[in-house]
Amino acid sequence: MNDIFERAQAIVSDAERVTQAHLRTVALPGVTIGLITLDNGEDHTKPNTFGPAGLLSLNTAIDAALADDSIDAIAVTGKPFILAAGADLTSIQGGGPDAVRIVAELGHAVFRKLREGGKPSFGFINGLALGGGLEVALHSTYRTVMDSAPALGLPEVMLGLVPGWGGAWLVPNLVGADKAVTLILENPLNQGRTLGGRAAYDFGLADAVFGGADYLEQSLLWAASVVRGDVVVERAEVDRDAWDAAIARAEGIVAAKTGGGSPAARKAVELIAAARDSDRDTGFAAEDLALHALSQTAELLASLYSFDLVQKRAKRPAGAPDTSLARPVTKVGIVGAGLMASQLALLFVRRLEVPVVLTDLDQERADKGVAYVHAEIDKLLAKGRINQDKANRHKALVSGATDKQVAFGDADFVIEAVFEEMSVKKTVFADVEKVVSAECVLATNTSSLSITEMAADLEHPERVVGFHFFNPVAVMPLLEIVRGDATDDATLATAFATGKTLKKTSILVKDSPSFIVNRLLGRFMSEVGRIVDEGTPVQVADNAFAGIAPMPPFVLLSLVGPAIALHNNETLKGAFPDRFYVSPALERIVAAKKAAYYGPDGALDPEVEALLEKPSDPVVLTAEEVRAKTLAGLAEEARLMLDEGVVAAPQDIDLAMITGAGFSFWNGGLTFMLDVAGISEQATGKRFH
């Protein structure tokens, strides 16, 4: 055992932001608890993580608590709002080929002391707890969770790994195989879905849930009552007869979401299956072997690349002007009060905490938008995400009006969210420009139209900028910031500063049809639409992209809306007639007002099928041929976008497709995946990276 600590010391890296484990004693009636607090010395925006040095620090603190005879029990918690966000991938990446295996064994060796050290242990999950951050709590004898904790989960499969510090064995043996499948496979493969604190308690991951500013005090008192025997923790027996059904469900999820293309997902299924009958030592050893094997895969390299994009490039957007040029935003105006406008209002008021006013053609519509925002704030309050004081303040900041002069006269930032038609948007901006200050930014949430054309007739076109969000606004991280030909640096800097405050991943985009994500998705749907129109069944086309796109293309089209997808492809066909295709079948489906290709039962809607009108001489491709042909089209489009300067680098395309379209970490987004598959060179003559 000592050997693993010596090997870990040898790979300690200067790149690691070390999370120190601080031990102090807390005297409670009849019980003294050794409280270990994890803290990397940064604020809550930089979560605790575990690299070799951090794990060694925790080991020292646990050993000290175990050796102190005055300490009756051990508890582990984190700095405010954060327990830990898992492994420090940056530091591990620099540790050489054996680093993953060493850190896997080290995590097991340290964490298991909490369960096997001879004293009761408690995990106090006081905030975000992902990967190893959750696993350190799972190793504890008992757990409490803060009801407002924002994110608990085991996201490793999304990163091309598996839970490797005990999670793959501990979770199924704590809550059962079916819930383990949800936590370890289903949630990560659904774009990294996590559990909130209350949901984690209901899930069975914690034995008690507390809220409020005194969460830690309540947890300590509860722990003392458990140690004294005043409280007896009871857990439901795990149903081992349900294991086979859970594994069958897991295999179905892996097939649907990855097409068998994720070694990590397949390995996770194996580990959950084996956890039914294996002991802890065998389970942990299997995790070590799995992590070592996965560390040699292209998927892990892609995941580390993706991780670097979202952790570093996303925080320093390429081409963004100097932040000193940004002007303050003290009031926001929104033109429109429909669903998108109301979602924007909610986001702006929660993040900027400044007055936000919605305008529409009549007061009833404006009031409906305000009511939506108020209702969403009430939901956040009910879930414990905000307190009553903040809910009251946020509600008071949102208002609705019909008179733009009164509403926008003192606004610093006005964004339109009206019908996607150039003439409508030009009229809106012409009206707004008459009533706002000379320095007010005019932002458009257009998904495809030209910013330059939209601003062309204004007196001050330099203050117009594209500010394109993705739906749902509260969930999707991407914000495409589009510079028109006349947009000046002050406007652009203000847009980037605002995007940062909104906690969005902002990417600078040249004014071009449909920008990044919608242009690539447009090419994607253009290729697939042509293939289906030529005779390949919809189901074959949909099955071709498991493990590549976040969902099958015609499921995605139904989610976006056939009319919106058609409008996007018509825009792109107008701009690039040689490459983009407008499907006559899609035109018929939109004319028939069909909202989706599939019915509630998951089968292709017979009315939609009738509108497809198969050709007399159909060309039927296999799923593999559909995939190859479509990806070649995407490679061509991505290369052209780079040649045109739509974005600065391939990394921006990948960052956009990960954060705006849900492409997977373990593929590296789009261009990295195309390189690995050899499609880049086949389609364009060279690699992207």
pLDDT at 73 over 90: yes
Question: Residue 92's pLDDT is what?
Answer: 72
Mean per-residue pLDDT, 609-633: 94
Residue tagged 């504890």 (tokens): 140
Mean per-residue pLDDT, 300-312: 88
User: Helix 562-575 crosses helix 584-591 at what angle (to 10 degrees)?
Assistant: 140
DSSP, residue by residue, 578-632? TT----HHHHHHHHTT---SB-TTSSBPHHHHHHH---SS-----HHHHHHHHHH
Q: Smallest Cα–Cα separation from 37: which of 7, 65, 13?
A: 65
CATH number of 1-155+194-237: 3.90.226.10
Superfamily for domain range 323-509: NAD(P)-binding Rossmann-like Domain (3.40.50.720)
Question: Residue 614's pLDDT is what?
Answer: 85
Question: Residue 94's pLDDT is what?
Answer: 65
pLDDT digits (tens, 9 = 90+) for 233-251: 999 999 999 999 999 999 9
pLDDT tier at 273, thresholds 50, 70, 90: very high
pLDDT tier at 46, thresholds 50, 70, 90: confident
Mean per-residue pLDDT, 75-96: 85
Question: Residue 99's pLDDT is what?
Answer: 84
Following CA atoms 447, 450, 453, 456 in sequence, which dihedral angle do they give, to the nearest 10 degrees?
Answer: 70
% pLDDT > 90, the chain = 84
Mean per-residue pLDDT, 521-544: 95
Question: Residue 666's pLDDT is what?
Answer: 87
In order of 255, 567, 591, the CA distances from 580 in angstroms are: 30, 12, 20
pLDDT tier at 95, thresholds 50, 70, 90: low
Q: Which stretch of 95-99, 334-338, 399-403, 645-649 has the lowest confidence by average pLDDT? A: 95-99
The 3-class SS string of 170-207 reads: HHHHHHCHHHHHHHHHHHHHCCCCCECHHHHHHHCCCC
pLDDT tier at 2, thresholds 50, 70, 90: low
Mean per-residue pLDDT, 530-553: 92
Mean per-residue pLDDT, 267-281: 97
pLDDT digits (tens, 9 = 90+) for 110-150: 999 999 999 999 999 999 999 999 999 999 999 999 998 99
Contact 569, 581 (CB under 8 A): yes
pLDDT at 27 over 70: yes
pLDDT at 9 over 80: yes
Mean per-residue pLDDT, 312-341: 95
- Tell the CATH topology of 517-645: N-(1-d-carboxylethyl)-l-norvaline Dehydrogenase; domain 2 (1.10.1040)
pLDDT at 50 over 90: yes
Residue tagged 């000046």 (tokens): 488
**How far, in Å, CA of 605 to CA of 595, rounded?**
10
pLDDT digits (tens, 9 = 90+) for 209-221: 998 789 999 999 9
Mean per-residue pLDDT, 628-655: 97
Name the average pLDDT for the chain.
94
Q: Would you say the CATH fold of 517-645 matches that of 1-155+194-237?
A: no
Catalytic residue IDs: 135, 156
Contacts of 180 (CB under 8 A, 6+ apart): 168, 171, 172, 246, 272, 275
In order of 24, 26, 65, 66, 67, the CA distances from 30 in angstroms are: 17, 11, 17, 18, 19
pLDDT at 646 over 70: yes
pLDDT tier at 311, thresholds 50, 70, 90: confident
pLDDT at 1 over 60: no
Report which secondary-structure segment, H or E, holds 76. strand 73-78
Question: Residue 259's pLDDT is what?
Answer: 83
Parse the chain into domains and list their residue ranges.
1-155+194-237, 156-191+239-296, 323-509, 517-645
Q: Smallest Cα–Cα separation from 138: which of 113, 164, 103, 174?
A: 174
Question: Residue 17's pLDDT is what?
Answer: 83
Question: Residue 166's pLDDT is what?
Answer: 97
Question: Residue 673's pLDDT is what?
Answer: 95
pLDDT digits (tens, 9 = 90+) for 466-493: 999 998 899 899 999 999 999 999 999 9
Q: Which stretch of 146-155, 289-298, 392-401, 571-580 has the lowest confidence by average pLDDT? A: 289-298
Residue tagged 């947009």 (tokens): 487
| DSSP label at residue 326 | P
- Phi and psi for 276 in degrees, rounded to 5? -65, -40
- Phi and psi for 159 in degrees, rounded to 5? -100, 10
pLDDT at 566 over 80: yes
- Phi and psi for 233 in degrees, rounded to 5? -85, 125
Mean per-residue pLDDT, 258-279: 94
Mean per-residue pLDDT, 606-625: 93
pLDDT at 534 over 70: yes
Question: Residue 7's pLDDT is what?
Answer: 87
pTM greater than the 0.75 cutoff: yes
Mean per-residue pLDDT, 75-94: 87
pLDDT at 93 over 80: no
Contacts of 229 (CB under 8 A, 6+ apart): none
pLDDT at 14 over 80: no
